């Protein structure tokens, strides 16, 4: 009984690391621009379709698919940035959100109508294998995803806190006006953060789809929902929040799936979000950000 629970938690951590990667992308865009990019999931989906197209038509190599997925996601990401974020210069966050919704629909239609078969196979790095650790089982693709998630988080943290460009991104997110005064190029920095977010999305998409071994047009919707929920659980704009939120979501879903009903799995995610928003509106880590911002604003 207890072994079951632990096994569920392990599964949840593995699946949750995918949610965490998605949430990182949402939270970075929100942190820097105070905007929500609804078309993030669909742009990853199109990137992944490009990756699997290479797989089917060029060479059956998982690395090629990874690079193709990243490349495709970055290209679509730039398209989204130009249309939804760059073009809307004013502080109209709602306009950005609505236009990113429109692009979402557009990308989804492209996938639905232009691709002859909508479901394609998606490769993984290794042939599916199951590792045994005592009484527990872990799938190789899941373990890959989890370990890579940790590595990516470390790299991202190093980039944001140890490099000049990372400083620029954080400065812009903290006080856009002041970052202008110290000579930070706003549009260049925004572009850079969007580029990184797309890169991250490409990797996340590849890892998640590897565990599913197939891609369908529903992936865009799925990725946007899971990423947004995980971000809001952890706290909008918080990087550790995105990771904790993603893992928590994974663990809760896995347990509901096991003890309850498979249908309840998705509902449990919304229920969890509901409870969180009632008890702690800022999310796990976001609450302190909200309070800190309020304190800072009072004193400035």
Partner 1 sequence: MLRTENITSFYGEIQALHGLNLEARKGEITCVLGPNGAGKTTTMFTIAGILKSRTGSIFLEDEELTRQSAQTIVRKGIALVPENRLIFPQMSVEENLNAGAFTRSSNDPSIENDIFKMYQRFPPLEGRRNQLAGTLSGGEQQMLAIARALMAKPKILLMDEPSLGLAPLVVKEIFYIIRQLNEEGVTILLVEQNARMALKVANMVYLLEKGKVSFSGSPEEIHQDEVIKRAYLGTEIK
Q: Under the phi-then-psi rule, with left for phi > 0, alpha for psi from -120 to 50, and beta for the rest, what region is 183?
A: left
Q: By the 8 A CB rule, do 195 and 77 touch? A: yes
CB-CB contact of 246 with 152 (8 Å): no
Rounded to a whole number of angstroms, the minimum distance from the CB of residue 91 to partner 1 is 15
* Closer residue to partner 1 (CB): 105 or 178: 178
Residue in 214, 221, 228 with CA at minimum distance from that of residue 276? 228
| Chain residues that interact with partner 1, rule: CB under 8 A | 164, 167-168, 170-171, 174-175, 177-185, 289, 292-293, 295-297, 299-300
Dist CA 48 CA 206 (whole Å)? 7
What is the nearest approach in angstroms of partner 1 to the Cβ of residue 288?
A: 11
| Closer residue to partner 1 (CB): 174 or 261 | 174
Please state the closest distance from residue 240 (CB atom) to partner 1, in A.
14
d(Cα 262, Cα 267) in Å, to the nearest integer?
A: 10
Which CB, 82 or 188, lies closer to partner 1? 188
What CA–CA distance (Å, rounded) separates 48 from 86?
24
Q: What are the phi and psi torsion angles at 215 (to 5°)?
A: -125, 135
CB of 28 to partner 1, least distance (A): 15
Q: Which is nearer to partner 1, 180 or 263 (CB)?
A: 180
Residue whose CB is less far from partner 1, 176 or 225: 176
Q: How far is the CB of 87 from partner 1 (least distance, A)?
A: 19
> How far is the C-alpha of 180 from the C-alpha of 94, rounded, in Å?
23
- Spell out the residues 6+ positions from residue 167 whose beta carbon is closer than 8 angstroms to its own: none
Question: Least distance to partner 1 from the beta carbon of 187, Å?
Answer: 10
89 C-beta neighbours (distance < 10 Å), count: 8
Nearer to partner 1, 170 or 265 (CB): 170
């Amino acid at each position: 009984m207890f072994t079951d629970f632990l096994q569920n938690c392990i599964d949840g951590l593995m699946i949750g690391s995918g949610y965490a990667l998605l949430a990182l992308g949402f939270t970075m865009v929100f942190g820097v621009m105070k905007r929500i990019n609804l078309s993030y999931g669909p742009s990853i989906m199109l990137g992944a379709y490009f990756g699997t197209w290479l797989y089917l038509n060029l060479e059956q190599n998982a690395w090629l698919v990874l690079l193709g997925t990243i490349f495709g996601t970055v290209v679509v990401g730039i398209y989204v940035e130009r249309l939804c974020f760059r073009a809307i210069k004013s502080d109209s966050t709602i306009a950005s959100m609505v236009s990113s919704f429109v692009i979402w629909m557009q990308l989804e239609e492209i996938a639905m109508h232009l691709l002859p078969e909508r479901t394609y196979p998606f490769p993984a790095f290794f042939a599916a294998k199951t590792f045994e650790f005592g009484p527990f089982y872990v799938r190789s693709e899941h373990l890959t995803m989890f370990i890579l998630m940790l590595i990516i988080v470390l790299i991202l943290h190093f980039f944001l806190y140890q490099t000049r460009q990372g400083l620029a991104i954080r400065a812009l997110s903290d006080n856009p006006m002041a970052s202008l005064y110290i000579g930070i190029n706003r549009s260049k920095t925004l572009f850079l953060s969007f580029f990184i977010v797309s890169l991250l999305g490409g990797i996340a998409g590849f890892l998640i789809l590897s565990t599913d071994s197939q891609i369908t047009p529903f992936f865009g919707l799925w990725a946007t929902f899971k990423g947004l929920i995980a971000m809001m659980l952890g706290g909008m704009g918080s990087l550790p929040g995105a990771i904790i939120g993603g893992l928590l979501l994974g663990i809760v879903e896995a347990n509901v799936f096991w003890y309850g009903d498979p249908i309840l799995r998705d509902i449990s995610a919304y229920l969890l979000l509901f409870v969180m928003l009632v008890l702690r509106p800022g999310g796990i880590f976001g609450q302190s950000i909200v309070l800190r911002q309020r304190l800072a604003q009072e004193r400035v």
